């Protein structure tokens, strides 16, 4: 079955509702970008959230217009949504896995609701904090300590995760379009920070900006 023909459902979420009142879908955007934050979207639902927004899919399968049209429908369907960002200088300092965790906790901590289980897209649980030792610094944000369920391609199959992906993508793309005026000539409105040939050419000609990830050594890619 073609990836674009897959529509998300609530099969996994309904299974989790048998033991949990609230389920949170989580997805990230911007992990592989050269510039801008990594953004993590969260979408909280319960078993009353049954009518999945029409046209909901993984954000990568939707046009900009389709994603933006879905935002009010997601907001009225879900109990809550939020996005957390981790900025390029923070990514440089702590690395991508910790940056994802920080962004996710920023999103989760902004919620009035306090869910105890999340669904993460992928096979790696990057949300659960590592075991601290005597030399570890205290985390920058309160950490999510609930249960984490990982599912490969959850952004395709789980409605809560697909919704989180759309919320995160719309949020981050909007941020990157604003950077177009601040840093003209880099094309941020078009590639939103990813490593296109036009973006690499701009870096070669103009150098790195304050929103580029310096630790990636992208000036030589």
8-state DSSP, 59? G
**Residue 84 CA, distance from chain mean position:** 8
Top CATH class, 8-177: alpha beta
The backbone region for 122, taken as left when phi is positive above 0, alpha when psi lies in -120 to 50, beta otherwise, is: left
Spans of the chain, pLDDT less than 50: 1-2, 134-135, 220-221
Instruction: Quote the CA–CA distance of 48 and 84 in Å, as a whole number.
Output: 25
> What is the pLDDT, as a whole number, of residue 3?
55
> What is the pLDDT, as a whole number, of residue 1?
43
């Amino acid at each position: 079955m073609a990836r674009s023909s897959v529509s998300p459902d609530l099969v996994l979420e309904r299974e989790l509702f048998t033991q949990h009142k609230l389920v949170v879908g989580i997805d990230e955007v911007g992990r592989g970008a050269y510039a801008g934050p990594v953004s993590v979207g969260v979408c909280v639902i319960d078993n009353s959230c049954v009518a999945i927004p029409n046209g909901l899919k993984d954000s990568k399968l939707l046009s900009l217009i389709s994603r933006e049209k879905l935002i009010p429908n997601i907001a009225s369907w879900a109990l809550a949504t939020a996005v957390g960002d981790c900025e390029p200088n923070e990514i440089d300092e702590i690395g991508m896995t910790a940056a994802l965790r920080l962004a996710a906790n920023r999103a989760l901590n902004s919620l009035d609701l306090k869910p105890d289980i999340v669904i993460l897209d992928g096979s790696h649980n990057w949300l659960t904090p590592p075991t601290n030792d005597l030399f570890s610094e205290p985390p920058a944000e309160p950490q999510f300590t609930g249960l984490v369920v990982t599912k490969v391609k959850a952004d395709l199959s789980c409605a809560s995760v697909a919704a989180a992906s759309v919320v995160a993508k719309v949020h981050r793309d909007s941020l990157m379009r604003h950077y177009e005026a601040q840093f003209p000539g880099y094309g941020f409105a078009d590639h939103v920070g990813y490593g296109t040939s036009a973006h690499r050419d701009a870096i070669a000609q103009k150098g790195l900006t304050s929103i580029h990830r310096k630790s990636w050594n992208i000036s030589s890619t």
